[in-house]
Amino acid sequence: MHDDTVGIVLAGGRSTRLGDRAPGPAGKAAVIVGGETCLARVCRAVGAVVPRVVVVAAAGQPVPELPGTVEIVRDTNAAAGPLAGLRDGLRHVGAGPTPPRWAVVTSCDVPLLRADVVRRLVDLARSTARRFVVPIIDSHPQVLVSVMACDLSALVESMVLQGRGLRAVLEALVADEPDSVQLVTAAELADIDPGLDSFLDIDLPADLARLESRGIPASRP
């Protein structure tokens, strides 16, 4: 376990694009994959690597059952998207007597996330001292399966105020502090996740159908 690292799981997103397979007010966090909710699966993968997991959920959002050690924080501005949720998560973990140095940042809708992928990203952050470790999959930065230095909280706050998204944080760092960013290629993860399943997010009914075609039952609660 890395005591200087915390997990922040963003669970406040709505599930409107899932159509009639949407799970209701709990959002994608409550979609059941292989007999377990998406949120619980992601928390389990992250919790296998870091000692503290924080879930950021929308105000009033029902949260599926989780281990008692998982902390729940309420998003103060759900309409502002995942970056505002990350801001609230960073505020929460930064308020303690010994703030963590790193945060694993992930959404709740990557149910096949592997602990080995989380561990590799954390190890890269620690060994390189880079401030943002981001996988690049199919030319797209996977900012919602990444590791970020908690001291980027001021930049996150600034981007929220500007109405920007999480990718804007990456873009700002690439432009102003390129040496602070570690981009991780698919090839660097192939030995621990050959199919890159850790980055399969659940947005559309077709995504659930893809899981089912592989023999992984996926359903509403």
Q: What is the pLDDT of residue 195?
A: 94
- The DSSP 8-state label assigned to residue 49 in this structure reads T
Q: What is the pLDDT of residue 16?
A: 59
pTM over 0.85: yes
Q: How far apart are CA 101 and CA 147, in angstroms?
A: 10
Q: What is the pLDDT of residue 221?
A: 60
Q: What does DSSP say about strands 132-137 and 53-58: parallel, antiparallel, or unpaired?
A: unpaired
105-158 per-position pLDDT tens digit: 999 999 999 999 999 999 999 999 999 999 999 999 999 999 999 999 999 999
Q: Among the residues of 109-204, which ranges form H helices? A: 115-128, 153-161, 166-176
Domains of the chain: 5-209 (3.90.550.10)
